[in-house]
Structure 1
Amino acid sequence: MILLDTDVVSELMRASPDAAVRRFLAAQRLETLFLPSLVVAEIRYGLARLPEGQRRADLESLFERFLAEGFADRILVLDASCVARYARARAAREAAGRPIALADALIGGMALAHGATLATRNTTDFEGLGATLVNPWEAA
């Protein structure tokens, strides 16, 4: 199971996604790719912050198709197990003098709870949580 972080989803919404990211995702079985509900929330928030207009409407439409056609049944929700993992991992990071953003810690908790690999460009943001990380921009 691979969870896609916000930066990976954002990259896929670009007119010309990075070739390394496309290769990485093409090498995975579709049924192994999942979206944390928090990533969906972060993307929706980013879209909502855009000025009203055609660009925003086009991106919102693209994202809705992305969800419906690719991830309709593969969006993971935050549950008690995820929250427990989040709390322990975030506290450990803070105790080590490496605070972590709330959303990142929750996404990391979801990866831990599901035994999933987290695909992100921002690997340093998640280091020390105990989750397996992969950077699609650098994956062979």
Structure 2
Amino acid sequence: MSLEVLLDTNTCIFILNHRPPQVAERFAEHPIGSIGVSSITAAELSFGMHKSGSEKNLERLKHFLTPLAVLPFDDEAARVYGRVRAELQARGTPIGPLDTLIGAHALALGATLVTNNTREFKRISGLALEDWL
């Protein structure tokens, strides 16, 4: 099974919280191996769970990430990031730094990014997007 979709941080939070329910339902439709997260997303999630101070939340995150492919931000992703950030800056339409990294990573992988933040991510040329809400 090859990777088809990369989950953005907000989508992961929806799945972890089981709301809205349709996001968890869409997640369950995908076979293991076809869905993953960027190491950038995993870092954002880890920060949020540590910030909460809850061991239960850290365990929930570990349980959530275990079956998923957590993909390292590699050299190809770095090259795509440089191009994407330069294009966004040249057009005067930058997006948040972590979103730029995640979007570039999805683009480098040829994966569809699943996010509720399509307003910003649609600024990245060629990036395939889905919103499960």
Same fold (TM over 0.5): yes
* CA RMSD of superposed structures (Å): 1.2
**What is the percent sequence identity of the aligned residues?**
30
The structure-2 alpha-carbon separation of the partners of 1:27 and 1:114, relative to structure 1 and needing over 3 Å to count, comes to same
1:124-135 aligned within 5 A: 124-129=119-124, 130-135=126-131
Q: Does 1:9 align with 2:6?
A: no
How many residues are aligned here?
129
C-alpha distance after superposition, 1:15-38 (max 9, x if no partner): x32122122212222221011000
- Residues in 2 aligned to 1:24 and 1:13: alpha-carbon distance in whole angstroms: 13
Q: Which residue number in structure 2 is paired with residue 105 of structure 1?
A: 100
Deviation at 1:106, TM superposition (A): 0.8
- The TM-score, its normalising length taken from structure 1, stands at 0.86
In structure 2, what residue type is equivalent to 1:93?
Answer: L
- The TM-score, its normalising length taken from structure 2, stands at 0.91
CA contact (8 A) 2:9 2:41 kept: yes
Q: Which residue number in structure 1 is paired with residue 44 of structure 2?
A: 42
Deviation at 1:48, TM superposition (A): 1.8
- Residues in 2 aligned to 1:63 and 1:27: alpha-carbon distance in whole angstroms: 20
- Residues in 2 aligned to 1:67 and 1:117: alpha-carbon distance in whole angstroms: 18
- Residues in 2 aligned to 1:120 and 1:84: alpha-carbon distance in whole angstroms: 22
Structure 1 residue ranges without an equivalent (≥5): none
- Residues in 2 aligned to 1:64 and 1:114: alpha-carbon distance in whole angstroms: 23
Which is greater in Rg?
1
Q: Which residue number in structure 1 is paired with residue 33 of structure 2?
A: 31
Deviation at 1:128, TM superposition (A): 2.2
Q: Which residue number in structure 2 is paired with residue 57 of structure 1?
A: 55
Runs of 4+ in 1 over 4 A off after TM superposition: none
In structure 1, what residue type is equivalent to 2:131?
Answer: N
Structure 2 residue ranges without an equivalent (≥5): none
- Residues in 1 aligned to 2:59 and 2:21: alpha-carbon distance in whole angstroms: 23
